[in-house]
Amino acid sequence: MVFTWPILFNIYGRCFATPEEVVIGSWHFLISWIFPAVAPIVFWVNDAATPGKMAMNARILDAKTGTMASTGQLIGRYLAYFLSTLPFCLGFFWIAFDKRKLS
């Protein structure tokens, strides 16, 4: 939101400050929905990490082979984030108790 809101405010002006609809135009859909979905996947495919993971020297790897994950796996990972948030973000809390994670 820190990046997208100023851009959208410059495009749509004051009408964007109090939108009555979820999507008010094609630029809004592109900048608020498509770009945030594509950006992490592009980072994952190119560098096996987003900037935050890079800062921690963490990488996303295939759990079975230890090699870089495929593009399909990375897209599935992104979609699984939404499922992880459904029951009170339980999917993210589960990481702390998962025996397969690396410490």
Domain ranges of the chain: 4-97
* Chain segment 36-62, per-residue pLDDT in tens: 999 999 999 999 999 999 999 999 999
At residue 82, the 3 state secondary structure works out as helix
pLDDT of residue 102: 63
Contacts of 74 (CB under 8 A, 6+ apart): 41, 44, 45, 60
This prediction's pTM: 0.76
pLDDT of residue 91: 87
How far, CA to CA in Å, does 6 sit from each of 2, 3, 28, 42, 46?
7, 6, 12, 23, 28
In the chain, how long is the greatest CA-to-CA distance? 51
The CA distance from 40 to 25, in Å, is 23
Is residue 69 a contact partner of residue 48, using CB atoms and an 8 Å limit? yes
Residue numbers of the chain with a pLDDT score lower than 70: 17, 19, 21-23, 102-103
pLDDT of residue 21: 66
